[in-house]
């Protein structure tokens, strides 16, 4: 069991949080993310993908820097990110998986990464997955009642039911009481009152986003 594993996927570097290279590993790279880790001076524990976004010389550079193994995607039925997430939980069994480079750039990639936890094979790992970029952090929750902590550099709070559910926000700035959500919706631009916030819901998956405006 590993406490925290970090995964870098192929989104634009402009969306990376500050000081990404200083974050402790182990790190895993998906496709071009593996090459970018090596260029940052980070040795990936695992590299995953079909590596169609890097050339043979770059792939050899990745292999020489690896501390672990290369996992080659066998087909196009799953994305590089999906294969990386599956590999990480099967091989490293982390308490938490932080994913970077998953939210900027192409919208189809963003939606694939956001909806990954809806797939039944990934849904049990949803509470352990976190998407992080320069302005946002996204956590996923399964049905229950929760208390979350405010991140010091974030102002805004959003609750995003990804499936039909009944959502209650107890003590955020804008509250909800058993709100019925039959389709995905973003209850956006909410805020903490104090340092914690409580919410509950009865079915499906809810994404909780803490965010800030760009500086």
Same domain, residue pair 126 and 76: yes
CA 81 to chain centre: 10
Domain boundary among 84, 109, 134: 134
Same domain, residue pair 126 and 152: no
Q: How many domains does the chain have?
A: 2
| Neighbouring C-alpha atoms within 13 Å toward the C-beta of 87 | 24
**Local confidence band at 1 (pLDDT 50, 70, 90 cut-offs):** low
The domain in which residue 75 lies consists of: 1-134
Same domain, residue pair 52 and 75: yes
For the cut 80, the answer to whether the pLDDT of residue 212 exceeds it is yes
Residue 75, token pair as written in the block: 């087909």
Same domain, residue pair 79 and 150: no
Q: For residue range 61-111, list pLDDT tens digits in order.
A: 888 877 777 777 666 678 889 999 999 999 999 999 999 999 988 899 899
Question: For residue 83, what is the domain's CATH number?
Answer: 3.40.50.10240
Instruction: Give the predicted TM-score (pTM) of the model.
Output: 0.93
Q: For residue range 6-49, list pLDDT tens digits in order.
A: 999 988 999 999 999 999 989 999 988 988 999 999 999 998 88
For the cut 90, the answer to whether the pLDDT of residue 57 exceeds it is no
Same domain, residue pair 62 and 88: yes
Same domain, residue pair 146 and 129: no
Residue with tokens 């389709």: 183
Domain boundary among 101, 134, 167: 134
Domain boundary among 104, 134, 164: 134
Nearest to 126 by CA among 143, 139, 137, 136: 139
């Amino acid at each position: 069991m590993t406490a925290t594993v970090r995964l870098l996927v192929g989104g634009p570097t402009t969306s990376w949080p500050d000081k990404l290279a200083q974050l402790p590993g182990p790190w895993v790279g998906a496709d071009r993310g593996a090459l970018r880790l090596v260029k940052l001076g980070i040795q990936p524990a695992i590299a995953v993908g079909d590596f169609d976004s890097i050339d043979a010389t770059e792939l050899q550079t990745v292999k020489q820097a690896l501390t672990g193994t290369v996992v080659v995607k066998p087909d196009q039925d799953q994305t590089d990110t999906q294969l990386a997430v599956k590999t990480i939980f099967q091989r490293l069994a982390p308490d938490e998986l932080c994913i970077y480079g998953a939210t900027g750039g192409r919208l189809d990639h963003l939606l694939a990464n956001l909806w990954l936890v809806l797939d039944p094979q990934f849904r049990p790992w949803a509470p352990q997955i976190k998407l992080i970029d320069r302005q946002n952090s996204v956590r996923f929750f399964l049905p229950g009642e929760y208390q979350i902590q405010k991140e010091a550099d974030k102002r805004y709070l959003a609750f995003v039911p990804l499936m039909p559910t009944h959502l209650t926000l107890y003590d955020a700035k804008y509250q909800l009481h058993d709100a019925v959500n039959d389709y995905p919706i973003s209850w956006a631009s909410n805020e903490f009152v104090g340092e914690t916030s409580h919410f509950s819901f009865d079915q499906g998956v809810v994404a909780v986003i803490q965010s800030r405006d760009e500086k």
